[in-house]
Structure 1
Amino acid sequence: MKSVIGKNITIALYGESHCEAMGVVIDGLPAGIVIDREFIQAQLEKRKPKGKISTQRHEADDFKITSGVFNGYTTGTPIHIEIENKNQRSKDYHPELPRPSHADYVAHVKYKGYEDYRGGGHFSGRLTAPLVAAGAIALDLLKRKKILIGTHILQCQEIKDRSFVDHALDIEKCNALDFATLDDPIGQQMIQRIEDIAKDHDSVGGILESCVLNMPVGIGEPFFHSIESQLSSYLFSIPAVKGIEFGLGFDFVNYKGSEINDEWQIEKDKITTRTNHNGGINGGISNGMPILIKLVIKPTASIFKKQNTVNLGTMENDTLTLTGRHDPAIFHRARVVVDSMIALALLDLCVEHFGEEWLCL
């Protein structure tokens, strides 16, 4: 089993939902980079459950950096970030009854019954907390290079937010909100919908839209190391992500080439495109336009309705009614995880292109 991603800046993830602690090891950052602990904590706050639309498992998520940072600066050695689990209720989980649409059964087979099944173990969304901590460092580094990243909730069932218009202002607004919609009344409608579905002991999914602004031209490689393939690898690492689009994505099917080709132009002595249907990427390489990404997050698999399953002990069909504390929706909490994984992927690509000294300039 490997839980490492990245080529130049590597992220090693460890821990389980109900173990004593979880965390990440970040390797590849040069010495002398300022680490903003307050920003890391602020990002972790965005991920925390809030109100009736989230799980009632509340963790402090106070992080500890135990190596790689001294007097506020990176030392050039691996950075270790640890987050403790303090609010577990392991009795709510049954090892013999795999939960529908969870990783319980496949983990049981893959790890020969030795897996930690409590709360989903290593497959739990709980492990996105250390990813957010690592991502905060990447987001801060990219922001110092004027590269901005933001994600909003585009859709919850038929309720739709508007897309990015003024990219810089919209990113700033997204990053200031707990429930990130660009249209405030739409956000309230979504929250009410999630609360209504929660009352029925069910769950709901959503679509997130992300924007990367001021990405330099020329980042990425053709074919196997394109921006799309790298971002997809990182983003599909987030639990419950089931689909991704760049630019128009699947909507390309509704147009002819003459309608959606992004024509080049000179604008204020800068080469841009008149439209941005390709979402800022040509041939797997950034073209300088905003990178636009959509992700679909499936409805939370943990619901409080009676469901069919199997009993791994008796090898008979069985039923399961979950107890415990679960989110009726996770997409509103996932958006900060999405920002984090986009930042980690792009940071790795930028270091590949410019070298690690670029981070220190």
Structure 2
Amino acid sequence: MPNSFGKNFTISTWGESHGAGVGVVIDGCPPNLPITADEIQVELDRRRPGQSDIVTPRKEEDRVEIISGIFEGKTTGTPIAMLVRNADHRSSAYSEMKDKFRPSHADFTYQSKFGIRDHAGGGRSSARETIGRVAAGAIAKKILASAGVEIRAFVTRIQDIAAPESALENFPAAADVEATAIRCPHGETAAKMIERIKAVRSEGDSVGGVIRCRVRGIPAGLGEPVFDRLEADLGKAMLSLPATKGFEVGSGFGGTLLKGSEHNDLFEVRDGKTRTVTNRSGGIQGGISNGEEIFFNVAFKPTATILQLQKTVDVQGNATELMGKGRHDACVLPRAVPIVEAMAALVLVDHWMRQNAQNGTFRF
């Protein structure tokens, strides 16, 4: 189904931006995993609106309610249902969008596909749908952490402002990522990024950028040949996120500038294990993890809804103009960081379970 993701560890999200609430149902979670609503809330707080002066001012606490699947602080092995109620939605700001299509938004394509759409807040096309992903991802991250896996996403570029690669060589500490509102671990660059976002917001405009995700602790052997390659499923997960326009793993597009002799990751035995000298493969070879750190980049476009008058057409096909309204992020990247982490965790848990089901080699 199009609202579900995963094969062994599956999630189904539901709800609209301006409806009563949004949520997720998780199936396939192992029993006896200790988990609390507070642990899930930590991740939701990183995603929620109104958390800083560079994100949307919409005031939502995004308090998670666990409906089923957790008993006395532990998962039961049955479906886990979680709900977050919408509180601060102002549908009147979208009344003009009922008949006019927002440029670069999903209004026209949803109307073309279904013949009907929820114009208030964009309905299912709103990034508010990702609440369910983050809530589910919190549980997936907890499962992976029990096996010593760490996932860290962070902003590396906003428009043309990029953190120097020399400052990104080491796996960043969570505290360094969370030290600023932009979630870039390089303080000097982070300050410039924040200044840029505030400047474009004052003009009613928006900017995009790049998020990098690094994963360490994944053993060799996760992933499937051909269609369900690990990087293919990671790419699908990331490109399913609102506003994403690009995905690259390892050397990515930059690798096309190298010769094979320059790009190949040579093998060696280090500390009694087969390792690679370099990691241009990004921890994945032949669609299967090789035990090295997995890393990839995700590109996010500028927020589509801007507070400027733009040309468009209405549902009757007439030329018209539209001024964006509502409360929107001038840059989605700060709040997208925990969403990228969540989707990475969901992919990795699912593949971990698939590997164990087929070969019995990895257990949590």
Instruction: Give TM-score, length-normalised by structure 1.
Output: 0.95
User: Does structure 2 retain, via aligned residues, the 8 Å contact 1:46–1:178?
Assistant: no
Which whole-Å deviations, capped at 9, do the CAs of 1:127-186 have from their partners, x for residues lacking one? 11121111011011101111110011111122111443222x445633666432121111
2:313 equivalent in structure 1 = 310
1:336 equivalent in structure 2 = 338
Q: Distance in 2 between matches of 1:101 and 1:325?
A: 17
User: Does structure 2 retain, via aligned residues, the 8 Å contact 1:171–1:211?
Assistant: no
1:258 equivalent in structure 2 = 261
User: Does structure 1 retain, via aligned residues, the 8 Å contact 2:54–2:181?
Assistant: no
Residues 126 and 188 of structure 1, relative CA distance in 2, 3 Å threshold: same
1:323 to 322, 325, 328: 325
- The one-letter code matched in structure 1 to 2:212 is E
State whether structure 2 residue 38 is matched by structure 1 residue 38.
Answer: yes
User: Does structure 2 retain, via aligned residues, the 8 Å contact 1:262–1:277?
Assistant: yes
Write out aligned runs for 1:13-92 (5 A).
13-49=13-49, 50-92=51-93
Specify the SS of the correspondent of 1:66.
Answer: strand
Quick one: percent identity of the two aligned structures?
38
- The one-letter code matched in structure 1 to 2:3 is S
- The one-letter code matched in structure 1 to 2:339 is V
- The one-letter code matched in structure 1 to 2:9 is I
User: Does structure 1 retain, via aligned residues, the 8 Å contact 2:208–2:301?
Assistant: yes
1:107 to 102, 106, 110: 110
Answer with 192-201 or 263-272: which moved more. Answer: 263-272
Residues 252 and 165 of structure 1, relative CA distance in 2, 3 Å threshold: same
1:271 to 270, 274, 285: 274
- The one-letter code matched in structure 2 to 1:328 is A
What residue ranges of structure 2 are gaps of 5+ in the alignment? none
User: Does structure 2 retain, via aligned residues, the 8 Å contact 1:261–1:277?
Assistant: yes
- The one-letter code matched in structure 2 to 1:22 is V
Which whole-Å deviations, capped at 9, do the CAs of 1:177-210 have from their partners, x for residues lacking one? 6432121111111000000010111000010111
Deviation of residue 51 (structure 1)? 3.0
User: Does structure 2 retain, via aligned residues, the 8 Å contact 1:148–1:171?
Assistant: no
Write out aligned runs for 1:157-306 (5 A).
157-163=159-165, 164-167=168-171, 169-170=172-173, 173-174=176-177, 178-306=181-309
Residues 235 and 185 of structure 1, relative CA distance in 2, 3 Å threshold: same
Deviation of residue 230 (structure 1)? 0.9
Q: Distance in 2 between matches of 1:330 and 1:103?
A: 16
Deviation of residue 120 (structure 1)? 0.6
1:353 equivalent in structure 2 = 355
1:151 equivalent in structure 2 = 153
Q: Distance in 2 between matches of 1:75 and 1:359?
A: 21
User: Does structure 2 retain, via aligned residues, the 8 Å contact 1:36–1:137?
Assistant: no
Residues 129 and 289 of structure 1, relative CA distance in 2, 3 Å threshold: same
- The one-letter code matched in structure 2 to 1:8 is N
User: Does structure 2 retain, via aligned residues, the 8 Å contact 1:141–1:359?
Assistant: no
- The one-letter code matched in structure 2 to 1:15 is G
Which whole-Å deviations, capped at 9, do the CAs of 1:24-73 have from their partners, x for residues lacking one? 00001122111132221111111123333111112010010101111111
Deviation of residue 19 (structure 1)? 0.2
Q: Distance in 2 between matches of 1:215 and 1:334?
A: 23
Q: Distance in 2 between matches of 1:172 and 1:320?
A: 41
Q: Distance in 1 between matches of 2:362 and 2:91?
A: 43
- The one-letter code matched in structure 2 to 1:222 is P
Residues 110 and 10 of structure 1, relative CA distance in 2, 3 Å threshold: same
Specify the SS of the correspondent of 2:122.
Answer: helix
Which whole-Å deviations, capped at 9, do the CAs of 1:70-93 have from their partners, x for residues lacking one? 111111110000000001110111
1:138 equivalent in structure 2 = 140
In the alignment of these two chains, the number of paired residues is 358
- The one-letter code matched in structure 2 to 1:233 is K
Which whole-Å deviations, capped at 9, do the CAs of 1:188-241 have from their partners, x for residues lacking one? 110000000101110000101110101110110111011011111111111011
Deviation of residue 126 (structure 1)? 0.8
Answer with 193-202 or 176-185: which moved more. Answer: 176-185
User: Does structure 2 retain, via aligned residues, the 8 Å contact 1:151–1:211?
Assistant: yes
Q: Distance in 2 between matches of 1:236 and 1:162?
A: 25
